[in-house]
Amino acid sequence: MGEEQSGAAAPGPAPAEADAARRALLREIVARGGLSDPAWYAAFADVPRHLFVPAYFVHGVRGYERLWGEDPDPGRRARWLRGVYADGALATRIRDGELVSSSSQPSLMALMLEALDVRDGHTVLEIGTGPGYNAALLSHRLGEAAVTSVDLDPEITEPARRHLAAAGYRPTVITGDGARGCPRRAPYDRIIATCTLPSVPPAWPEQCRPGALVLAPLATGLIALRVRATAQGPCAEGHFLPTPAYFVPLRGALPLPAGLPHLGGLPRRVAGNDLFRFLLSLTAGVLDPHEALSLWEQEGRPRRERYGITVGQGRQWAWLDDPRGPYTWPLGGPAG
């Protein structure tokens, strides 16, 4: 199932109706503590999300149901617009029953963009173009010349370019393997990924300036890595943010672990705990679940922000509290 019909015109809700819906979404994000930075508030206020999701899919009684902005049924058009400006992720591309592209939850996008800590003059590499909405927000904040976005699938990047152009933005959108970055546009001050990683692609720190920040979803969390130069090459290190995060996996990387391990024998209240399941995901293939439980309880059921990752010298590892402390373990294989 495609994201939109080839050559379909951009959706055209009544401007007043779309503006009211966008203002309501902004109020909701602000009420949740987001968009405290006036520059990002202006970006979300000015960039119309409906231009980037002319169609999306929702679960219906017969599987996925497609909603689109030019549906002849006014009731279904109204459902489409409500969904566009709800604070939720939208499935924009389904292939063989599998989600391959989406528009992320706006409040989570706002949190990530503010955590990216950009400054005027920074250049940004985005991994995972999706429908192009995030690239438009970055372009609004930094200027389109500062933004490079990469996605593996031309069936994603081509519509994204059209959406961006319709909104008045023309950042560089590349069809390619995001795990390899985009060396011809390097170096970057910031890298942001909108897809879940099994590990951090070594190419990313290598394409960064010293002091750059890499922000990416990993193990149901968001890792923020600061890049520094060393005699052995670039090193990236940092902690997870407190918030959970669930994204489409990065294609082109090594596969993610095949789900969580069998949790038989663990108390149900523990097996279902979000923070414990985060640790299980972070230690998949390395620690037995019962070992992970012992560590988790011994250390006071640590929250996400106590964990971190170090990438450098051809290896990478996760850790609790201290990258050179007693609790460290290897993190997956290098992506790509």
Q: How far apart are CA 44 and CA 167, in angstroms?
A: 13
6, 36, 101, 107: the catalytic one is 101
Q: What percent of the chain has pLDDT over 70?
A: 90
Question: How much is the pLDDT for 334?
Answer: 36
Q: What is the pLDDT of residues 211-225, one digit of tens each?
A: 999 999 999 999 999
Question: How much is the pLDDT for 1?
Answer: 42
Tokens of 10: 């951009």
Averaged pLDDT, groups of 10, the chain, 336 residues long: 42 84 97 96 98 92 86 94 96 84 94 98 97 98 98 95 98 96 97 92 96 96 96 95 87 49 68 89 88 93 97 93 94 48
Question: How much is the pLDDT for 247?
Answer: 84
* Residue 101 a catalytic site member: yes
C-alpha torsion sign, points 55, 158, 147, 253: positive
Question: How much is the pLDDT for 264?
Answer: 60
Question: How much is the pLDDT for 61?
Answer: 72
Taking Cα atoms as reference points, which of 124, 287, 150 lies closest to residue 219? 287
Amino acid at 178: G
Q: How far apart are CA 103 and CA 101, in angstroms?
A: 7
Q: How far apart are CA 195 and CA 188, in angstroms?
A: 19
